[in-house]
Amino acid sequence: MNILFVADPLESFKIYKDTTFSMMREAQRRGHRVAACEQQDLLWQRGALVTAHVRDLTLTGDKTAWFSVDGTRAVALKDFDAIIMRKDPPFDSEYFYATHLLEQAEREGARVFNKPAALRNHPEKLAIMEFAQFIGPTLVTRDEADIKRFHAEHQDIILKPLDGMGGMGIFRVGPDGMNLGSITETLNRHGAQSLMVQKFLPEIVHGDKRVLVIGGKPVPFCLARIPQGSEVRGNLAAGGKGVAQALSARDLEIGNALGPVLAARGLLLVGLDVIGDCLTEVNVTSPTCFQEIFDQTGCDVAALFIDALEQALK
C-alpha cells in the first residue's frame, strides 16, 4: 500500500510523542510505502488532476535524523492508495481550501481519511451540540446579554473561542462575575465573533479525557490530561499531565454512541474529549495521544489505526 500523509513540516515532529510519526512507523513496519507533503504542496491546475509535490520517506529508527528522503516527485493524489490528512489545527482558510482540493481528489478516485467534507462539517467545539444528551449546559452566542443570563443561571462558567486549540483563550468566571464583561468583549470582539460558554465542570480535577475512536470503535484506554497547580486547563499544551486509564462505563457509552455515526460520515479517527460524564469536544482534524497511551498501557493504538485503514481500503 502506498500512503501519503498531509502533515506539518516533518522537521517539526517531536517523535517521542507525535501521533502521525507513530502511524508512519506502523505503516512502514507492515511494508507499506510512506510519503509526506504539506498543505502548501497541493496544487490543482485547470484541466489536470489534483497533484502534490511529495517526499518519499524511509523511517530510519534514529531519534534525531528519523527519516531519509528517497526522492521527491509530483504525483496525482489518486495514485496513492490512501491519503491521511494530519495537518494540525488551526482550521484556518488555508486548511479550508485544502479540504476542497482533497475533495476534488476524491472525485478523481483518491481515498482520503478523514473525509474532507466531514472535516469541514464537524468544527471541533461546535460539533458537540448535535449530541445534546452527552453534554453539559452549553451556549453558543456572540451576544453579551445571553452570556450574562447564562452566567446568572450557572454561576461558575467557562468561556472559549470556537476556533481555539491547545487550551488557547479559555477563561473561567466564578459566581462573582469578575471580568465577565471584558472577557466577553475580548472573545467576541465586541459582538463580531461567536464563542462557546459552558457550565464549569469540577470533575476537571480528575482530567480532561481524550477518548479515541477508530473505525467507529472506542480504544479501550484514554489519556486523562490533568491540570497542574492552579491551572484550570488540562491540555498538554497548557502544562497538563497525561495519565492513561481504562475507559469508564460513561466513556464507553459516549464512544459507542458517537462512533458508528461519525464513522459513517467518513471519520476514521476521532478524539472525543470528556470531562466527568460530559462530552466537551469532538476532535477530527488531527487527534493525538497514541504514543502516550501505548507507553503507559501497552495498547498499540497505531496498530489499531492501521488495521482500520487497511479494512477501509478493502
Residues 24 and 50 in one domain: yes
Residues 235 and 166 in one domain: no
**Per-residue confidence band for 154, with pLDDT thresholds at 50, 70 and 90:** very high
pLDDT higher than 90, residue 63:
yes
pLDDT higher than 80, residue 57:
yes
Residues 220 and 248 in one domain: yes
Exactly one of 38, 251, 281, 292 is catalytic; which is it?
Answer: 281
pTM: 0.94
Q: What is the pLDDT of residues 250-282, one digit of tens each?
A: 999 999 999 999 999 999 999 999 999 999 999
Residues 14 and 84 in one domain: yes
pLDDT higher than 90, residue 167:
no
Residues 192 and 211 in one domain: no
Active site residue 225: yes
Segments of 64-149 assigned E as strands: 67-76, 82-85, 112-113, 138-141
Please report the pLDDT score of residue 234 as a whole number.
Answer: 76
Q: Is residue 121, in this structure, part of any structural domain at all?
A: no
Q: Which grid coordinates are listed for 18?
A: 507525535
Q: How far apart are CA 202 and CA 278, in angstroms?
A: 11
Active site residue 273: yes
Residues 58 and 21 in one domain: yes
* Long-range interactions of 103-106: CB distance < 8 A, separation 24+: 104/44, 104/50, 105/49, 105/50, 105/76, 105/77, 105/78
Active site residue 160: yes
Please report the pLDDT score of residue 236 as a whole number.
Answer: 79
Residues 40 and 62 in one domain: yes
* Neighbour tally for 202: CB within 10 Å: 10
Residues 214 and 227 in one domain: yes
Residues 186 and 239 in one domain: no
Burial class of residue 22 (count of CB atoms within 10 Å of its CB; 0-12, 13-18, 19+): buried
Domain CATH number, residue 151: 3.30.1490.20
Number of domains in the chain: 3
Active site residue 281: yes
Q: What is the pLDDT of residues 217-239, one digit of tens each?
A: 999 999 999 999 878 777 877 78
Q: How far apart are CA 158 and CA 253, in angstroms?
A: 25
Domain CATH number, residue 48: 3.40.50.20
Residues 253 and 302 in one domain: yes
Exactly one of 114, 188, 235, 283 is catalytic; which is it?
Answer: 283
Structural domain boundaries, residue 240: 203-312
Q: Is residue 243, in this structure, part of any structural domain at all?
A: yes
Residue 72 carries which side chain, given as an amino acid letter? T
